[in-house]
Amino acid sequence: MKKFYKYLITLFIIGLLAAPLHEAYAGNKDRSGQAGASELLINPWARSSGWGNVSTANVKGLEGMFINVAGIAFTQKTEFIFSYTNWLKGTDINLYAFGLTVKVGEASVLGLNVFSMSFGDIDVTTPNNPEGGIGVYKPSYLIVSVAFAKAFSTSIFAGLNLKIISESIADASAQGIAIDAGIQYITGDRDHIKFGIALKNIGPDMKYTGDGLMLTTFIPGEDNAFSMTMPASNFQLPAALDIGASYDFFIGEINRITLAANFQSNSFGKDQFMGGLEYSLKEYLMLRGGYIYEDGITNKKDRTNVYTGPTAGITIQVPLNKEKGSTFSVDYSYRDTDPFNGTHSIGARISF
CATH at 103: 2.40.160
Is residue 144 included in any domain, yes or no?
A: yes
3-state SS, residue 50: coil
244: in domain = yes
135: left (phi over 0), alpha (psi -120 to 50) or beta: left
Q: How many domains does the chain have?
A: 1
Q: Give, rounded to a whole angstrom, the gap between the first and last alpha carbons of the chain.
A: 31
State the chain's mean pLDDT as an integer: 89
277-317 pLDDT, tens per residue?
999 999 999 999 999 999 999 998 889 899 999 999 999 99
The alpha carbons of the chain give a radius of gyration, in whole angstroms, of: 22
* CA-wise closest residue to 187 among 284, 93, 37, 58: 58
* Model confidence at 276: pLDDT above 60: yes
For 198, counting Cβ atoms within 10 Å of its Cβ (0-12 exposed, 13-18 middle, 19+ buried), the class is: buried
Is 332 within 8 Å of 314 (Cβ atoms)?
yes
Dihedral sign (CA 337, 340, 342, 343):
negative
* Residue ranges making up the domain that contains 239: 2-125+135-351
Q: Is 336 a residue whose pLDDT tops 80? A: yes
Please give the model's pTM, rounded to 2 decimal places: 0.88
Segment 243-251 mean pLDDT: 96
130 lies in a domain?
A: no
Q: Is residue 255 part of a domain?
A: yes
Residues 260/289, Cβ–Cβ less than 8 Å:
no
Q: Using CA of residue 52, residue 179, residue 146, residue 167, what is the dihedral sign?
A: positive
